[in-house]
């Protein structure tokens, strides 16, 4: 990461109200607590004595030592840190919920893009607290929330908790915290008495759907060696273009599936773990049924359907559309061939109107063809505030170049009708054309982009 120098700054209670608040809570929880020493470590690309530009910060860590009488050494933990991920999109690591953090330091104002990481102290806050803090910091405008506020919402009273016993938090309390900050989320719970999960990976698609739509998730599991429980934030995933899973799933284990879910190319989830460190990779099927307990997946927008349902609806629509298409260019013909052969790759993302329009404006074919302005006329009023965008690609196109034929838009604020009809359909963009429903048929509008275009990538979040 081209690290060159380190700046160490002392932080005192007089300088930081948050530290004073935390130490007051510690004293209530542990009467033998006598004080703390806190330092912030700034890791820079610039050498010693050189002036640092705002973006020369690789990351920072606030390191806290709590002194408790009777213990031979202080209790150490990373109170908070933000680092640039060591691997990015060029290394097939995708972290959609990172943001920029602005810092005022002794050497000037600096900034760093990453996902907040912290460790528990097992007194005033535990793994659930730091997990909640990580996911909330990635979406809240203020970019952080204090442990005191989390405890207040969860109803954790340090006065009435036995010292040394920890300030544990249950699933219902975690949900209370998310709800208090207005977070939409979906929930999957699997307790030992629950037999609804038949296979170890049944929850994987729901977890992937949340991450791919730009939001983090909380993943809880039971420890085999102690019976205790732990929760970690899931903040991204990796992509493996030569994975065996995609062809093998279709060819050997599930021949009836008539499309490729983009999840097949997911290799690992990117997670933080307050016991081990930030940006670890968790293999997608590592946590088995007997260990998995809960997923709380944040949602940027409320939705009546999930990502798996959106893909199934999209597939049904696309099959109908492919048989009605008139002759088109070579890439439209390829789309028709893949659709009618059951070989499409589908990737469902929940996006806003503004995000989709910006994506259309930026989309370019390999030969430089761009989206025509005329085809976007009226879309501001035509599109809902948010919806499912299901990207449509082919296995070789998706895995090798991260590109697609186009996308189909589906309403997400209405439950799927039984039997399925066209009431959820908004429009489809395919090579050279945008297709809308008009009466009992399709209305075709030229859109300029006659070939494949790049996949959707989430724009930077509002900086905090």
pLDDT tens digits, 41-77: 999 999 998 999 989 999 999 999 999 998 888 899 9
Q: Summarize the confidence of residues 425-439 as an average pLDDT.
A: 91
pLDDT mean across residues, the chain: 89
In this structure, what DSSP letter does residue 120 have?
A: -
Q: Answer whether residue 353 is part of any domain.
A: yes
Q: Is the pLDDT confidence value at 350 over 60?
A: yes
pLDDT value of position 195: 61
Count how many domains the chain has.
Answer: 2
Cα 197 to Cα 313: distance, rounded to the nearest angstrom: 23
pTM for the whole structure? 0.90
Kindly indicate the confidence band of residue 442, based on its pLDDT and cuts at 50, 70 and 90. Answer: confident
pLDDT tens digits, 288-307: 777 888 999 998 888 899 89
- 216's CB contacts (< 8 A; 6+ apart) are 97, 115, 134, 135, 138, 139, 210, 233, 234, 235, 298
Residue finishing a domain among 299, 330, 352 = 299
Shared domain check, 320 and 293: no
Shared domain check, 206 and 66: yes
Q: Is the pLDDT confidence value at 229 over 70?
A: yes
Cα angle 357-363-367, degrees, rounded to a multiple of 5: 160
pLDDT value of position 37: 95
What's the full length of the chain, in residues? 464
Q: Answer whether residue 464 is part of any domain.
A: no
Shared domain check, 442 and 411: yes
Shared domain check, 281 and 366: no
Q: Answer whether residue 460 is part of any domain.
A: no
pLDDT tens digits, 169-195: 889 999 999 999 999 998 888 887 766
Q: Is the pLDDT confidence value at 201 over 80?
A: no
- Best CA proximity match to 292, nearest among 218, 208, 213: 218
Enclosing H/E stretch for 174: helix 171-180
Shared domain check, 153 and 113: yes
pLDDT value of position 464: 32
Cα 252 to Cα 388: distance, rounded to the nearest angstrom: 30
Pairing of strands 229-239, 93-94: antiparallel
Q: Answer whether residue 360 is part of any domain.
A: yes
Shared domain check, 165 and 116: yes
Strand segments (E) across 12-105: 33-44, 57-68, 75-83, 93-94, 99-105
425: domain range? 307-454
Q: Is the pLDDT confidence value at 313 over 80?
A: yes
pLDDT value of position 164: 42
Contact between 138 and 461 under an 8 Å Cβ cutoff? The reply is: yes
Shared domain check, 320 and 263: no
Residue finishing a domain among 299, 332, 352 = 299
Residue finishing a domain among 299, 328, 353 = 299
pLDDT value of position 234: 96
Shared domain check, 250 and 218: yes
Shared domain check, 127 and 77: yes
pLDDT value of position 383: 95
Cα 45 to Cα 59: distance, rounded to the nearest angstrom: 10
Q: Is the pLDDT confidence value at 378 over 90?
A: no
Q: Answer whether residue 134 is part of any domain.
A: yes
Q: pLDDT over 90 for what percent of the chain?
A: 62
Contact between 260 and 314 under an 8 Å Cβ cutoff? The reply is: no
Q: Answer whether residue 161 is part of any domain.
A: yes
In this structure, what DSSP letter does residue 291 have?
A: T
Show the tokens assigned to 306: 């999930």
Question: Residue 211: which CATH number?
Answer: 3.90.70.10
Q: Is the pLDDT confidence value at 415 over 60?
A: yes
Shared domain check, 312 and 276: no
Q: Answer whether residue 459 is part of any domain.
A: no
pLDDT tens digits, 326-343: 777 899 999 999 999 999
Q: Answer whether residue 352 is part of any domain.
A: yes
pLDDT value of position 254: 66
Show the tokens assigned to 301: 């927008």
pLDDT tens digits, 251-293: 887 666 789 999 999 999 999 999 999 999 999 888 877 788 8
Shared domain check, 118 and 263: yes
Q: Is the pLDDT confidence value at 97 over 90?
A: no
Query: What does R_g of the chain's alpha carbons equal in angstroms?
Result: 25
Q: Give phi and psi for 235, each to the nearest 5.
A: -120, -5
Shared domain check, 218 and 323: no
């Amino acid at each position: 990461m081209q690290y060159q120098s380190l700046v160490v700054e002392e932080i005192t209670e007089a300088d930081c109200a948050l530290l004073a608040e935390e130490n007051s809570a510690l004293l209530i929880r542990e009467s033998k607590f006598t004080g703390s020493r806190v330092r912030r470590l700034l890791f820079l690309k610039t050498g010693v004595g050189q002036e640092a530009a705002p973006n020369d910060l690789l990351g920072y860590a606030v390191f806290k030592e709590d002194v408790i009488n009777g213990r031979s050494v202080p209790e150490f933990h990373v109170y908070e840190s933000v680092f640039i991920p060591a691997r990015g999109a060029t290394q097939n690591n995708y972290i959609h919920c990172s943001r920029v953090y602005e810092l005022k330091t002794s050497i000037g104002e600096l900034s760093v893009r990453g996902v907040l990481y912290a460790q528990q102290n097992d007194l005033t806050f535990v793994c659930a607290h730091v997990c909640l803090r990580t996911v909330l910091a990635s979406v809240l405008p203020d970019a952080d929330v204090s442990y005191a506020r989390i405890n207040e919402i969860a109803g954790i009273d340090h006065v009435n908790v036995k010292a040394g016993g920890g300030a544990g938090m249950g699933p219902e309390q975690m949900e209370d915290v998310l709800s208090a900050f207005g977070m939409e989320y979906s929930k999957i719970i699997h307790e030992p008495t629950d037999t609804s999960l038949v296979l170890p990976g049944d929850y994987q698609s729901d977890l992937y759907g949340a991450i791919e739509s730009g939001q983090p998730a909380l993943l809880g599991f039971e420890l085999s060696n102690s019976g205790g429980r732990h929760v970690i934030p899931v903040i991204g995933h990796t992509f493996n273009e030569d994975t065996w899973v995609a062809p093998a799933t279709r060819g050997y284990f599930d021949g009836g599936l008539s499309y490729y879910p983009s999840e097949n190319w997911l290799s690992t989830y990117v997670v933080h773990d307050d016991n081990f460190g930030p940006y670890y990779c968790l293999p997608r099927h590592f946590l088995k049924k007997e260990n998995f307990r809960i997923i709380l997946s944040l949602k940027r927008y409320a939705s009546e359907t999930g990502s798996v349902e959106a893909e199934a609806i999209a597939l049904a629509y696309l099959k109908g559309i492919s048989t009605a298409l008139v002759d088109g260019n070579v890439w439209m013909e390829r789309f028709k061939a893949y659709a009618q052969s059951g070989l499409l790759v589908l990737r469902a993302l929940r996006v806003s109107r503004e995000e989709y329009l910006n994506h259309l404006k930026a989309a370019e074919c390999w030969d430089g063809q761009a989206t025509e302005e005329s085809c976007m006329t009226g879309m501001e009023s035509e599109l809902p505030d948010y919806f499912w965008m299901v990207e449509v690609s082919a296995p070789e196109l998706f895995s090798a170049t991260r590109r697609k034929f186009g996308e189909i838009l589906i309403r997400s604020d209405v439950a799927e009708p039984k039997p399925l009809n066209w009431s959820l359909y908004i429009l489809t963009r395919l090579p050279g054309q945008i297709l809308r429903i008009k009466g009992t048929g399709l209305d075709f509008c030229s859109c300029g982009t006659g070939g494949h275009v790049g996949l959707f990538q989430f724009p930077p979040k509002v900086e905090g």
